[in-house]
Amino acid sequence: MAHDIFSLAGKVIAVVGAGSGIGEAIALGAADQGAAHVACLDMNEPGAAATAAQITARGGKASAVAMDIADADATRDCLEQLAAAHGALDGLVCTPSINVRKPILAYSGDEFDRVVRVNLRGNFNVLQAAGRIMTKQQRGSIVLYSSIRSLVTEPGQSVYSMTKAGILQLAKTAATEWALLGVRVNAVGPGVVETPLTALIKSNKDWYDAYARKSPMQRWAQPSEMVGPTLFLLSDAASYVTGTIIYADGGWLAADGRFTPPGM
């Protein structure tokens, strides 16, 4: 019988941000791919618990724990306890981020610090804590969540875009440091996805439609469409993939314009 290189059978997977949106979809997807245990981690503990309950209802094994990625000590303790309880930490996905959409000249210092604290410091805390565990056990895969905003931006996205570029550089640097220790680190870069973070845009039809038109696919993504790229990076199918990013953006970054000339 051929080995399914995309399977997560026997693997302990932690999903940070599993309480809703992309994180919830990934946690469910990891369980569907046979993960031995899925740890659903989120500041929103009821949301994480609901996701874990969905997994157990399907016959999988899951737990839910409240975790604030901006708290380095709590993040370290949570992941170390998880690895100790299950004998390993084979894969970790970190999806959370926040955004304050404002022109640069209107940004306050507190707003800057809040976005950086979650998006950059938070991802660094998760990366460092997971990296300590995985480098010691000499195996593992970490997937951070960047964005198309790591490459392109728009008015009002200065700090968010900066942090998303920073997350990609964190992944690349960790990949170079831990490659000989059996640990792979990559990123996923979504385009526009219908999640709680983008609810404000969805409520404005003109804004929502403008984003849909920018993509060659002419639509937004659903959280479930981020599952495949993420689980690929966690799986043995990506055994020689590290230090890179998969843009799941519907072709957003490929398109340099919206007008199709006559006859095309």
Q: Annotated active-site positions, please?
A: 160
CA–CA gap between residue 15 and residue 20 (Å, rounded): 11
Beta strands in 72-173 (DSSP E): 91-94, 140-145
First to last CA, the chain: 47
Q: Let me know: does 63 contact 51? Beta carbons within 8 Å.
A: no
Q: Let me know: does 53 contact 21? Beta carbons within 8 Å.
A: no
Q: Which residue has the tokens 């940070």?
A: 16
Q: Is 211 exposed, middle or buried (0-12, 13-18, 19+ CB in 10 A)?
A: middle
Q: Let me know: does 218 contact 191? Beta carbons within 8 Å.
A: no
What one-letter code names the amino acid at 50? A
